[in-house]
Amino acid sequence: MSEPSVFDLVVIGGGSGGLAAAQRAAEYGARVAVIESGRLGGTCVNVGCVPKKIMWNAAAAAHAVADAAGYGFDVTANGHDWAGLKARRDQYVARLNEIYARNLANRDIESIAGFGVLEDARHVRVGERLLQADRILIAVGGEPVVPPLPGAEAGITSDGFFALEALPRRVAVAGSGYIAVELAGMLRALGADVELFARYDSVLRSFDTLLQAAVVDALRADGVTLHPFAVPAGLERSDDGLMMNTQAAGQFGPYDSVIWAVGRRPLTDGLGLESAGVARDEGGFIPTDAFQETNVPGIFAVGDVTGRAALTPVAIAAGRRLADRLWGGMEGRHLDYDNIASVVFTHPPVGTCGLTEAGAREQYGDAVEVFTSEFVPMVNSFSEHRTAARMKLVTTGAERRVVGVHLFGPGADEMLQGFAVAMRMGATKQDFDDTVAIHPTSAEELVTMR
């Protein structure tokens, strides 16, 4: 048997977190190998944030066309070329795949196509090849779940959504998380009849209640039919499409497509974790400490596979900080998982950072004070699409330190980043109040709120 190839770091998974760690480590002089069985870039680039944002942009363009009359334009949309957009989107993603490959090559990182399996705590096998490293990083990400229900295989997941060659005219989306509401909004804006099946009476249930209510109202205003307390029980084929059976609400349909958006699971099966002694929790996720290290010294994990804050920038930040600490001489450097800003690309978008009002009251009790605002943004004042923007600041203590910012409205995705920086620096309500507003904007509401 041939001798193993020796590296300082072997990364299993060429997604956002793995690539970020690999490239940062290589910049410090480490010899690195990245193993990926699919396309470089992982979920985000191939079947996640990047193609999702392109489809969101298309849906936003559809809304803009509909609103143009209010600004004096005589505009008629003569349909939408889904197939043409998909072809351009796929080309864009393919270019990103190539860029990632070039970036690895430019840093002398060896890119290995194949499925990496741990043989022990220091060796990874890819096919016939054996790799050795003192440090191994697991960054394999996750995949969407298809529920174990009768006929469920007739539906598709978010992965299947990006493979659609044509717009399905009648769509059922099962789920109430961010993927479900994003896909429902995009499909509706581009012309589909959409029904959303939620297990409970709302959507985005981990978000602040103000945002939950805002998204429900916006979906309904855009023509999405919501079925609350409708728990799927299976799918059946009829002569005219797919029928959705529910546990208590009856049967619905027919649909041209049913999309399962009921969660994601880590891709930890078959990695040889047992051979290396790496622990998994009951959900299959790999627990790590504050420094991204597993229960096995020298084996680390970042990204969705850890079950913490499944967001691309989180995986990137964790991977880079890991390399900074191990090879960059930055002792103690690690990712702080508190106050991570996130956006849901509904129409308009949701932005949130910090504690919900309920979470703050649970943690700080009567010391919590809340400020809210609801208004029709100027951009909507000249159109029939008059969705109200809603905002909330959650503060605590005598100094009214801001511990939660929750936004719904045009531009929420872009304006949140700066406020997240302010929160991280410990900003108070008085700091917000003392900041001169930019007028006329929606963002000024956050510094004029009473």
Residues involved in catalysis: 439
Bridge partners, residue 351, by sequence = 343, 407
Return the closest-CA partner of residue 314 out of 323, 299, 328, 302.
302
Of 413, 411, 416, the C-alpha closest to 378 is: 411
> Which residues are within 8 A (CB) of 415 and not within 5 positions of it... i.e. 6 or more apart?
351, 407, 442, 443, 446
CA distance 164 to 381: 35
Which of 217, 195, 194 lies closest to 350 in space, CA to CA? 217
What DSSP state is assigned to residue 30?
-
CA distance 145 to 156: 10
Q: How far apart (Å, rounded) are the C-alpha atoms in residues 373 and 379?
A: 17
- 3-class secondary-structure state, position 309: coil
Supply the DSSP symbol for 239. Answer: T
- 335-339 long-range contacts, CB within 8 A, separation 24+: 335/292, 337/308, 337/309, 339/420, 339/423, 339/424
User: Please, are residues 390 and 373 in contact by the beta-carbon 8 Å criterion?
Assistant: yes
H/E segment holding residue 361 = helix 357-364
Question: Could you tell me if residue 250 is left (phi over 0), alpha (psi between -120 and 50 degrees) or otherwise beta?
Answer: left
**Cβ–Cβ under 8 Å, residues 35 and 116:** yes
Three-class DSSP category at 382: coil
User: 121 near 277, Cβ under 8 Å?
Assistant: yes
Q: Would you say 39 and 94 are in contact if contact means Cβ atoms under 8 Å apart?
A: no
